[in-house]
Structure 1
């Protein structure tokens, strides 16, 4: 296993040149880059970085609601994902991380039933996988419930993989999302072993004093109030509830040889480029003691 990072956290601080990111990462011992949508798909630059061999780019990521109720928006998201799959194929990038999309009939009142979107997702992914197979690229569905996604639990993964039998379809496994959904983040690694194509290095802290006061349904989403009233928050690996020793041990048991990609969304270590970079390196230091 190797440790890499997701570019979004650096992009959010204004660093958007892939060469500058690569130079910083190489200098700090990171081995892989997962490139988010804020980075221009400059194939010449990507190819040069890969050819030089000092750091790899094994993953592109594009998570959106591909089944948005606005048909033009949905078509645009689908087009952008297909463009990334095709670019990955040309560049020898092995996988693209994405969401599934979700239809409006999965939501009713305050309840959510992702199964209601299953048929639409299966039909949509026939076209995505046709492109992926043609370009020899794997699609790794992240288990994040946000961004339009039904692949949020072992139950839903089982349904999806039963309906879509393709060795190009698997998971981008993020244990942090299991924590705030009150699910076991460890055993599913062994259960879905060979379907885990990618791993996100992110943690979650349960803010129990907030939860005791407001419950789990009160989630303010305005940026300035989000963590004041939220009952959980993402943290760097080692600062939340996930036992990374167990995660690493289970990944070793299934023979995972890919990347643990640090996805920095920790509000304590945001606010400046220096803080974000320090946060990524703190996460690296914590994870690497177990691999």
Structure 2
């Protein structure tokens, strides 16, 4: 038994599924995670077609077999709790459809985000509360939890019926963005099929320690994204809760959609932190210790690279990450 190493194909959406799988195979990886809804398109997984036909499912899985790469997860990260109807309603539907698709394909894990409601029942936009020193903010959180708990109870039941674990990213701008919030969700929902997608990059920028989080969460870790973060000297005066971002110019190339009609913002020129290719923020021994902690929880854990380092091209960055991940894995023996 050993950890399974692969990659999330979102960084290869400009390629066909077969070509994307060849890139992963050439990088020494054996697994793939594909998008099936949420913030970004899903060119590598035609969910509606797959749900409607066993023959289509057999043919689809045959592509992975042909290229020597296992389908190890689906991804539908979005904001299913958003008060924006073109976001929340659609992405909640895509999450549910993704769970059913995973079940039909025999895939046990789907990555998602908890989502973020608005301030109250009349709100138009999502609101992320991170430091509720003001009682007003606690009132907002009370409302948001009143929305999240019944929704995630429903999702948990659907996941259980389909034999799937929904693995939440502890991601900024989500109600569930750290370990205590996840623990609260489990306590208030009684969920059995809601787990954590352990993406260390999102813990690093919060100044949390992923290895300690793994030890605390234990079997609640259901899936892993291999992604790194580097903290820069600018953190000394910016801190990690920085709003000094900019709008993406309309003529910019290579934009990344993150909501209906919106792209990801432009980072500050001298950020406090940013995502980097795996192994460029922390050294090989750290990652070997990280993988050992995961193996102690589940020796068959799926570990998929998520490449989001803008300093490198998509294939180049993915290969750097794969090389560093496999070197760290080799230290496990």
Q: Which category describes the TM-score, using the shorter chain as reference length?
A: 0.7 to 0.9
Alpha-carbon deviations, 1:6-43, whole Å to 9, x = none? Answer: 111122xx22x212112232233211111124324234
Q: Is 2:317 aligned against 1:260?
A: no
By how many angstroms is 1:83 displaced? 1.2
Alpha-carbon deviations, 1:105-143, whole Å to 9, x = none? Answer: 284898566844222111111222232122111111111
Provide the aligned C-alpha RMSD in A. Answer: 2.5
Q: Where in structure 2 are there 5+ consecutive unaligned residues?
A: 37-41, 51-55, 120-125, 250-265
Partners of 2:231 and 2:282 in 1: CA distance: 7
Q: Where in structure 1 are there 5+ consecutive unaligned residues?
A: none
1:9 to 11, 16, 27: 11
**Normalised by the size of structure 2, how large is the TM-score?**
0.77
Q: Is 2:167 aligned against 1:153?
A: no
Partners of 1:245 and 1:265 in 2: CA distance: 21
Q: Is 2:66 aligned against 1:66?
A: no
**Normalised by the size of structure 1, how large is the TM-score?**
0.87
Aligned residues: 283
Say if 1:219 and 1:229, in contact at 8 Å, map to a contact too. no
By how many angstroms is 1:158 displaced? 1.2
Partners of 1:145 and 1:49 in 2: CA distance: 34
Give every structure 1 segment of 4 or more consecutive aligned residues whose post-TM-superposition deviation is greater than 4 Å.
Answer: 50-53, 108-115
Say if 1:220 and 1:229, in contact at 8 Å, map to a contact too. no
Query: Which residue of 2 is the match for residue 184 of structure 1?
Result: 209
- Segment of structure 1 superposing worse, 136-145 or 110-119: 110-119
By how many angstroms is 1:144 displaced? 1.2
Q: Give the match's secondary structure for 2:298.
A: coil
Say if 1:262 and 1:283, in contact at 8 Å, map to a contact too. no
Partners of 2:243 and 2:172 in 1: CA distance: 16
Partners of 2:295 and 2:318 in 1: CA distance: 27
* 1:214–1:57 CA distance, 2 compared to 1 (3 A): same
Say if 1:2 and 1:258, in contact at 8 Å, map to a contact too. yes
Partners of 1:56 and 1:264 in 2: CA distance: 19
Say if 1:67 and 1:74, in contact at 8 Å, map to a contact too. yes
